[in-house]
Amino acid sequence: MHVKSHTLATTVALGLTVVFLAACSGGGANPAARFQAHEIADFNGYAVAVADFNNDGRLDVMANSLGMSEVSWYENPTWERHVIVEGVSSVVNQAIADINGDGIPEVAFQSQFAMQAENSEGLNWIAMSQGGDPTMPWTTQQIDAFPTSHHVAWADLDGDGELELINALLIGEESVRPAYDEDQASIFWYGQGDWNRGTVDDQIPGIIHRVRPVKWDPGSRDQLLVASFEGIGLYRAIGMGADMTFEKELISSGHDSEPAPRLGASDVGMGASGSGRIVASVEPWHGNEVVVYTQEGDSWQRRVLFTEIGSGHEIAVLDLNDDGYADIVANDQSRVTGRNPDATPGVHVFFSPEDPATGEWIYRRIETESAMNGCVGGDMNEDGRPDLICTGSGGKIIWYENLGNEEAEADM
């Protein structure tokens, strides 16, 4: 009897061990990553980006502020600030790419922004370094002026190896506060050299908030994901150069249960997840929901992961804990004040389970003090782990160093 019992117990224990190994080696999701905050600068930022400005292999940081009359970048690792353009106002966004191949990136940026078309000249600029020294003032060329130019991105829409510039307006001329839904807004594109204005879409209702280049389809072309009152739109270019036309596929209408301006999506991102992909968003415009979309046949299933963002703005989608499942970062620009004592400023991070559609996401709030407007990923210390860089109205630019994953839970 004793021997038999012992054998049975051993068999059960071995069985559990086998199950445990199978779960871990079969592509299971990892625990949450840990982060350590490092302050880069005291800066009341709006949008942040990373790029290697001085071609030393380290990613540097650029942030803009609507309240500053300068465009500048911060050099990694000393975070010395270099002003490259002065005498501009209300800079709302920038996009960085080395378009002439000299190893120093060019910067497309947008100034003279306002929430009212009549007050917003909407100037679009290209800034280029001089003599390959990115610490000296840059030359600027104005390429367009269009009211409420608000978001800018580089993308190779026709797949010819040369990037086009994308400019998304915030609103159409007739749209006004508080609903901003009276008119339609446009997305433009410009080819390098003549910078002639082409149109991706001129019939997007209400507010366009973000346009994100993605590799959605195989091949050399980039596609665009657009977050607007309409929800999440996917744009594909057909044809080449000035002859390009665009097809739109609406992935989702997003948050569509309330009147404007609580409509659609504020930002959108895409990431690889196992053998498939996820689309993630913060909804509605400046909203409170973190949403993940997973494909089921021809349609995209909407799953609301979180509804407690005090004031959302942007989303970042990347694999932070090295398990092949894209994770989601949502900033929170709400600020604790006498009138808003329960605000939740900072950064909310959601780590994906093996099945993003049905599994349990791990939630961590990695910043609880400083209100943030947006975050981007980038390996700032070249240790192979993607870090996060965020800025916002909390008055800081912060690098959140990825320290690796938390220990697996004891019962794993």
Q: Which residue in the block uniquely carries the two structure tokens 């790029």?
A: 51
User: Which residues in the 45-84 window bind Ca ion by CB under 5 A?
Assistant: 52, 54, 56, 58, 60
CA distances for 136 relative to 23, 72, 81, 386, angstroms: 54, 11, 11, 30
Tokens of 313: 């703005």
Candidate segments 1-9, 171-179, 180-188, 383-391, binder of Ca ion by CB under 5 A = 383-391
| Cβ-based nearer residue to Ca ion, 9 or 23 | 23
Q: Give me the least distance between CB of 96 and Ca ion, in Å please.
A: 12
| Cβ-based nearer residue to Ca ion, 133 or 174 | 133
| Cβ-based nearer residue to Ca ion, 171 or 237 | 237
Report the amino acid identity of residue 98. D
323 in contact with Ca ion (CB under 5 A):
yes
Q: Give me the least distance between CB of 295 and Ca ion, in Å please.
A: 18
319 in contact with Ca ion (CB under 5 A):
yes
| Cβ-based nearer residue to Ca ion, 144 or 354 | 354
Number of H helices, E strands in the chain: 1, 28
The torsion region of residue 278 among left (phi > 0), alpha (psi -120 to 50) and beta comes to: beta
Of 80, 202, 247, 383, which one interacts with Ca ion (CB under 5 A)?
383
User: Which residues in the 157-186 window bind Ca ion by CB under 5 A?
Assistant: 158, 160, 162
Candidate segments 181-189, 277-285, 299-307, 311-319, binder of Ca ion by CB under 5 A = 311-319
DSSP state of 148: T
List CB contacts of 25: < 8 A, sequence separation 6 or more: none
Of 253, 294, 295, 381, which one interacts with Ca ion (CB under 5 A)?
381
Of 289, 327, 332, 367, which one interacts with Ca ion (CB under 5 A)?
327
144 in contact with Ca ion (CB under 5 A):
no
Closest listed residue to residue 206, CA positions, set 256, 170, 233, 246: 170
CA distances for 375 relative to 101, 117, 302, 314, 331, angstroms: 27, 27, 23, 7, 7
State the alpha helices, DSSP H only, in 288-372.
Answer: none
| Cβ-based nearer residue to Ca ion, 67 or 132 | 132
Round to whole Å and give the CA distance between 125 and 111: 8
Size of the site for Ca ion (CB under 5 A): 19
DSSP string, 153-175: EEE-SS-SSSPEEEEEESS-TT-
Of 98, 182, 256, 379, which one interacts with Ca ion (CB under 5 A)?
379
Residues at the site binding Ca ion, with contacts judged by CB under 5 A: 52, 54, 56, 58, 60, 156, 158, 160, 162, 319, 321, 323, 325, 327, 379, 381, 383, 385, 387
